[in-house]
Each structure stands twice: as structure tokens, then as C-alpha cells.
Amino acid sequence: MSESNELYASVNYIKNKVDTLEKIEILRMKTDVELKNKYASMLQSDKDLLTVYKAIDGIKSQKDIANTCNINEVQVSRKIAKLEMEGLIERVGAVSSRNKIYIHTVVERAYRFSKEL
């Protein structure tokens, strides 16, 4: 029983450290106007990229996003690859090998692009 409590305490400690690091990163990003402008410019210059970005919710698969946005699946796949490469989204799961699930990264929590743009 005490090993279980120790393990729980250790996991909780690590979780708190990770949460603290994320908060620090959000604060750092909020002060980086150049980075915010770079991301905003990229999203605003490509209507489909912004549409796909806003459709990502951690539930919809790539196929669902394509249907929601009225964009073909190949284009959605390319937009997702760009968003992932830029660090705006990350994969969290998959319905199948062709239907991956994504969420926004800490960038969204810092800049709130899905609501601001």
C-alpha cells in the first residue's frame, strides 16, 4: 500500500512540475510579439489552413475535418502536416492509420488563435 502511495505522490509531483513548465512557456510566449505575429500571419494568409486549424478539437479525425470544412482529404492532410510541423497542433490518437486525431498545442493556450482569428 505504501508503494502505491509513493508512486501516486511521485506521479503527482511530476504532473505539477510539467504544469508549471507549461505555465512558464505560456507566459514566455505571451510576451513574444514577433512569434505571435509570425503564427497569425501564417494562419491568416491561408484560409484553408485557418479553417482546418479551427476545426481541430481532439475529437474529429482528418476525414471528419475534411467533411466539416468542405476541403478534400489530401488538402486537409497537407494542412495538418504544416500545422504539426510549425508546432501548432500535435497528434493524440488515431481512429485508423489514415484518420489521426489532433489537438492544439500550448501555442493555442497562449494566443487563442481559434477564437481571435
pLDDT for the residue 99: 81
For residues 18 and 26, give the distance between their C-alpha atoms in angstroms, rounded to a whole number.
12
For 5-37, how does the pLDDT look when each residue is reduced to its tens digit (9 = 90+)? Answer: 888 888 889 999 998 999 999 999 999 999 999
Long-range contacts of 94-98 (CB under 8 A, 24+ apart): 94/61, 95/61, 95/63, 96/61, 98/62, 98/63
C-alpha cell at 77: 492532410
For residues 6 and 10, give the distance between their C-alpha atoms in angstroms, rounded to a whole number.
6
Split at pLDDT 50, 70, 90, the class of 1 is: low
Q: Taking residues 31-51, what's their average pLDDT?
A: 96
Question: Would you kindly state where each structural domain of the chain is located, as residue ranges?
Answer: 1-31, 33-116
For 50-96, how does the pLDDT look when each residue is reduced to its tens digit (9 = 90+)? Answer: 999 999 999 999 999 999 999 999 999 999 999 999 999 999 987 77
The class level of CATH for 33-116 reads mainly alpha
pLDDT for the residue 96: 74
49 contacts 85 by C-beta, under 8 angstroms: no
pLDDT for the residue 87: 96
